[in-house]
């Protein structure tokens, strides 16, 4: 693909996400030769800073000299504007003066979802929503709303201005190596595909543990909590990909149709194993930020069932949390024991497949094998696919992958509106049960389940 003439207009341009994810992704795209090194970047926020100061902010966002040299060459502009108060007048002139002729444009909204409708309205009122010849696309960071109603309203407002084909709802988990590998593993290996159903599988657990706390996002997090921050998006996306049936074609709509079928059929179990928790120092962190004591969860473990015949009765467990013992992510698929065979043997263990999400992206299969030491005894053996040994270190930059998909106009790695809505419905069902779920305080950097 030839280098794209794209300009990036970043709302929330001085935010944490711009610094941590978007700027390194832009450097990565230049390095890969996917965008021009003199591309235009226009940052927007309420801050009053000059173009030079913004350039410094972007330069400080990358560590390596190579990336700094890429950022230096970019054509960087800054626009001070309050998008809640018709504050974008003058932006059109700046964009048009800065962009190369015939250039396409990407609006990237990494602000709170509360500002999405205002920004979209302002883009329209400034006549910035359409371009001749080249494309105009708009990317929305997660969360897409705070509940079902607000996400539906967002869609309504957005569709008044932009065509759905140009709307990209971002969930960076969909660009993770492991998550992209799920369908390949499932649909190209009869060994896995044939056993991937309730006949053979007892439970599926998706774990995304983090060792850091909520850091400087406490204001957002104090309203959201782990369920809205992580379940609604990342965990339900991974689960739906894992359970979905083979689509009739590997195209955007067919893949998303299959995912939606799963989401529509998920139900929360009436289980005493659900658990919510909060790390001990959270209360203090909230107080320092002037927030009231709250029972928001920084840890959640919820059990679900999928009513689709193929999966009905397989226990689905989603677990995530902050300030836990270590940062790691895994999908653990546990098989049912064999019914009759092998019962004359001792020590038979359950078969298991573990797919690592983080820090590795390995796949391990645990099976029984004969123990050479003892007659009639079985030992568990691990069959391991080490991704790094096979393909070298994973240097993939998830945000660069996603930005490149936006440029290509391929929405497969983005969430579709009906998926987002179904996920919010699941969250609402959990919210209704909240009072019946055990809530604990856990020590910082511990495992709440121990
Ligand atoms: C974000 C959440 O979407 O994902 C954060 O808002 C979380 O709270 C982050 O820390 C985790 O992403 P990753 O890629 O580090 O697992």
The per-residue DSSP string of 394-447 comes to ----HHHHHHHHHHHT--TTSB-HHHHHHHHHHHHHHHHHGGGSEEEEE-TTB-
> What is the structure's pLDDT at 343?
66
Residue nearest to atom 6 of ligand 1 (CA): 229
Residues with Cβ < 8 Å from 314, sequence gap 6 or more?
Answer: 198, 201, 202, 203, 204, 305, 306
CB of 279 closer than 8 Å to CB of 213? yes
CA of 173 to the centre of ligand 1 (A): 9
Closest ligand 1 atom, residue 234 Cα = 3
Structure confidence at residue 346 (pLDDT): 80
**CA dist 123 → 15, 94, 128, 251 (Å):** 20, 13, 5, 31
What pLDDT score was predicted for residue 320? 98
**pLDDT tens by residue, the chain, 450 residues:** 456 689 999 999 999 999 999 999 999 999 999 999 999 999 999 999 999 999 999 999 999 999 999 999 999 999 999 887 778 889 999 999 999 888 999 999 999 999 999 999 999 999 988 876 689 999 999 999 999 999 999 999 999 999 999 999 999 999 999 999 999 999 999 999 999 999 999 999 999 999 999 998 999 999 999 999 999 999 999 999 999 999 999 889 999 999 999 999 999 998 888 999 999 999 999 999 999 888 999 999 999 999 999 999 999 999 999 999 999 999 999 999 987 666 678 888 999 999 999 999 999 999 999 988 888 889 999 999 999 999 999 888 999 999 999 999 999 999 999 999 999 999 999 999 999 999 999 999 999 999
Nearest atom in ligand 1 to the alpha carbon of residue 233 is 3
Cα(262) to ligand 1 centroid in Å equals: 23
Nearest atom of ligand 1 to the alpha carbon of 176: 14
* Cβ < 6 A, ligand 1 pocket: 142, 210, 229, 358
Give the number of other CB atoms < 10 A from CB of residue 35: 24
216 Cα to the center of ligand 1, angstroms: 13
Residue nearest to atom 16 of ligand 1 (CA): 208
| Residues whose CB falls within 8 Å of the CB of residue 103, separated by 6 or more in sequence, listed in order | 5, 6, 7, 40, 134
Q: What is the pLDDT of residue 132?
A: 65
Ligand 1 centre and the CA of 171: distance in Å? 10
The answer to whether the Cα torsion of 427, 431, 433, 439 is positive or negative is positive
Task: Give residue 241 CA to ligand 1 midpoint distance, Å.
Answer: 18
Ligand 1 centre and the CA of 369: distance in Å?
39
Q: Which ligand 1 atom is at minimum distance from the Cα of 210?
A: 10
The DSSP annotation for 126-156 comes to TT-S--SSS-EEEEEPSP--SSHHHHHHHHH
Q: Whose CA is nearest to atom 9 of ligand 1?
A: 230
Question: 229, 232, 235, 329: which to mutate for ligand 1, most atoms within 8 A of CB?
Answer: 229
Q: Which atom of ligand 1 is nearest to the CA of 142?
A: 3
Residues 6+ apart with CB under 8 A from 401: 175, 413
Q: Reduced to 3 states, what is the DSSP secondary structure of residue 121?
A: helix
Cα(123)–Cα(96) distance, rounded to whole angstroms?
A: 14
* CA 300 / ligand 1 centre spacing (Å): 15
* Residue 348: predicted pLDDT: 87
Ligand 1: which atom is nearest the Cα of residue 357?
16
Q: What is the pLDDT of residue 161?
A: 95
Q: How far apart are CA 422 and CA 249, in angstroms?
A: 23
Q: Which atom of ligand 1 is nearest to the CA of 358?
A: 16
Please state the atom number of ligand 1 nearest to the C-alpha of residue 230: 2
Give the pTM: 0.96
**Distance separating alpha carbons of residues 182 and 177, to the nearest angstrom:** 9
Pocket test for ligand 1, best of 230, 329, 359, 360 (most atoms within 8 A of CB): 230
Q: How far is the CA of 378 from the centre of ligand 1 (A)?
A: 40
Give CA torsion, residues 409, 415, 417, 420, to 10 deg: -170
The DSSP symbol for 163 reads -
9: which strand partners?
42, 107
C-alpha pair distances (Å), 392 with each of 12, 358, 395: 35, 16, 9
Q: How far is the CA of 337 from the centre of ligand 1 (A)?
A: 35
Q: Tokens for 129, please give them.
A: 């929503």
């Amino acid at each position: 693909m030839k280098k794209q003439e794209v300009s990036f207009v970043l709302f929330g341009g001085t935010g944490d996400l711009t610094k941590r994810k978007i700027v390194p992704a832009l450097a990565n795209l230049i390095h890969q030769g996917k965008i021009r090194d003199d591309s235009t970047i226009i940052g927007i926020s309420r801050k009053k800073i000059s173009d030079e100061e913004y350039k410094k902010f972007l330069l400080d966002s990358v560590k390596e000299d190579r990336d700094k040299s890429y950022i230096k060459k970019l054509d960087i502009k800054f626009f001070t504007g309050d998008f809640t108060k018709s504050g974008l007048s003058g932006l059109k002139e700046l964009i048009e003066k800065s962009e190369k002729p015939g250039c396409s444009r990407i609006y990237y909204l990494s602000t709170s979802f509360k500002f999405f409708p205002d920004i979209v309205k302002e883009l329209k009122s400034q006549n910035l929503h359409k371009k001749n010849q080249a494309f105009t696309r708009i990317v929305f960071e997660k969360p897409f709303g705070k509940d079902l109603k607000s996400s539906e309203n967002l869609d309504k407002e957005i569709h008044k201005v932009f065509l759905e084909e140009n709307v990209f709802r971002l969930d960076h988990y969909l660009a993770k190596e492991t998550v992209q590998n799920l369908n390949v593993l499932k649909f190209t290996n009869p060994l896995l595909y044939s056993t991937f159903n309730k006949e053979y599988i007892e439970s599926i657990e998706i774990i995304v543990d983090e060792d850091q706390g909520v850091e400087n996002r406490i204001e957002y997090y104090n309203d959201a909590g782990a369920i809205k921050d992580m379940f609604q998006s990342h965990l339900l996306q991974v689960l739906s990909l894992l359970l979905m049936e083979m689509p009739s074609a590997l195209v955007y709509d067919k893949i998303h149709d299959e995912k939606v079928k799963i989401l529509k059929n998920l139900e929360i179990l009436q289980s005493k194993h659900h658990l919510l928790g909060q790390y001990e120092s959270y209360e203090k962190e909230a107080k320092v930020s002037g927030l009231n004591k709250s029972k928001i969860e920084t840890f959640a473990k919820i059990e679900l069932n999928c009513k689709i015949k193929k999966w009905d009765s397989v226990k689905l467990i989603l677990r995530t949390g902050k300030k836990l013992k270590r940062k790691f992510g895994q999908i653990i698929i546990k098989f049912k024991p064999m019914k009759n065979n092998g019962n004359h043997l001792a020590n038979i263990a359950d078969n298991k497949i573990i797919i690592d999400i983080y820090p590795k992206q390995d796949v391990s299969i645990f099976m029984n094998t004969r123990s050479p030491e003892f007659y009639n005894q079985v030992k568990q053996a691990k069959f391991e696919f080490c991704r790094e040994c096979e393909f070298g270190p994973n240097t993939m930059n998830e945000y660069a992958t996603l930005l490149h998909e936006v440029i290509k106009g391929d929405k497969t790695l983005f969430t579709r509106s009906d998926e987002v809505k179904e996920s919010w419905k699941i969250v609402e069902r959990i919210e209704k049960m909240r009072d019946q779920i055990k809530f604990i305080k856990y020590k910082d950097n511990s495992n709440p389940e121990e």
